[in-house]
């Protein structure tokens, strides 16, 4: 009896991606991270310009922003003086393998900043997830600072909640006294007026931070100048650039 045209023969023509195990593939690809074999691209990483290797055919479809980074005039090397070797290796590892090994919160914050700079949304989310899981009394202030710089709402809300829940109240001291220590290095004047207002509004709900912190930030923004000894207006490595930053130069 002849098979119906709509039966098994028709079904066999349907195109379907069949995926093998991704872990062995990632393991093999990891061997190519910072590997000089077949490399056609170099990076000068850190202040010492330590050479690291890349492969355009792999990096181009995954992170073309990185390939368009500033090259030095005297060579084809892409210079990344403000990036540590450990953090850049993690960036390359993700580009090549779609996974990343994060050593600790400090490392994750640095990689988070790189993921923003090079527009790697999935790596960004992996760093956020790592920081959410690894938030503690030692890391909360740094995570809060990173969240404000990167305009990362989920991370900022979690850090605020953690700081509030874990603030120790001692007779004669208020929560504001101690929580203020956690944010004294957050450079609020570097935020846009809208971003600063949003953080201020959020603070109105719980009064976690002193109003003086915001008054000083608003005053600096109105004056539109850095002042001779005002570290609050000096962008840190990885700070998201805003148009008004030029006024502080």
Q: Does the pLDDT value for residue 226 go beyond 60?
A: no
Q: What angle do CA 152, 125, 49 make, to 5 degrees?
A: 90
> Can you tell me the distance from the alpha carbon of 187 to that of 231, in angstroms, rounded to the nearest whole number?
8
Q: What was the pLDDT predicted at 87? A: 96
Pairing of strands 41-45, 78-80: parallel
Q: How does pLDDT run across 67-78, given as a tens digit for each residue?
A: 887 665 566 789
pLDDT level of residue 178 (50, 70, 90 thresholds)? very low
**CA distances from residue 235 to 48, 115, 174, 199, 221 in whole angstroms, order as listed:** 22, 18, 30, 18, 14
pTM: 0.67
3-state secondary structure of 26: helix
Q: What was the pLDDT predicted at 96? A: 98
- Tokens representing 2 are 């002849």
pLDDT level of residue 151 (50, 70, 90 thresholds)? confident
Q: What was the pLDDT predicted at 78? A: 92
Q: Does the pLDDT value for residue 63 go beyond 50?
A: yes
> Can you tell me the distance from the alpha carbon of 109 to that of 95, in angstroms, rounded to the nearest whole number?
18
Task: Give the chain's mean pLDDT.
Answer: 80
């Amino acid at each position: 009896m002849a098979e119906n045209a709509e039966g098994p023969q028709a079904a066999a023509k349907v195109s379907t991606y069949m995926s093998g195990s991704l872990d062995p593939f990632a393991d093999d690809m990891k061997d190519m991270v910072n590997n000089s074999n077949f490399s056609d691209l170099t990076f000068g990483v850190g202040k010492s310009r330590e050479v690291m290797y890349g492969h355009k055919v792999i990096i181009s479809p995954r992170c073309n922003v990185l390939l368009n980074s500033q090259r030095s005039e005297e060579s084809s090397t892409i210079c990344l003086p403000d990036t540590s070797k450990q953090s850049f290796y993690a960036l390359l590892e993700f580009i090549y393998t779609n996974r990343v090994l994060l050593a600790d919160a400090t490392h994750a914050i640095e990689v988070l900043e790189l993921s923003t700079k090079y527009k790697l949304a999935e790596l960004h989310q992996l760093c956020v997830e790592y920081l959410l899981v690894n938030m503690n009394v030692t890391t909360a202030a740094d995570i809060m600072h990173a969240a404000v710089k990167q305009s990362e709402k989920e991370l900022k809300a979690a850090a605020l909640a953690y700081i509030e829940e874990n603030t120790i109240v001692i007779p004669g001291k208020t929560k504001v006294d101690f929580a203020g220590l956690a944010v004294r290095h957050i450079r609020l004047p570097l935020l846009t007026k809208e971003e600063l207002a949003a953080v201020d509004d959020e603070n109105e709900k719980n009064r976690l931070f002193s109003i003086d912190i915001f008054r000083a930030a608003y005053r600096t923004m109105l004056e539109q100048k850095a002042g001779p000894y005002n570290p609050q207006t000096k962008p840190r490595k990885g700070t998201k650039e805003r148009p008004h930053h030029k006024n502080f130069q």
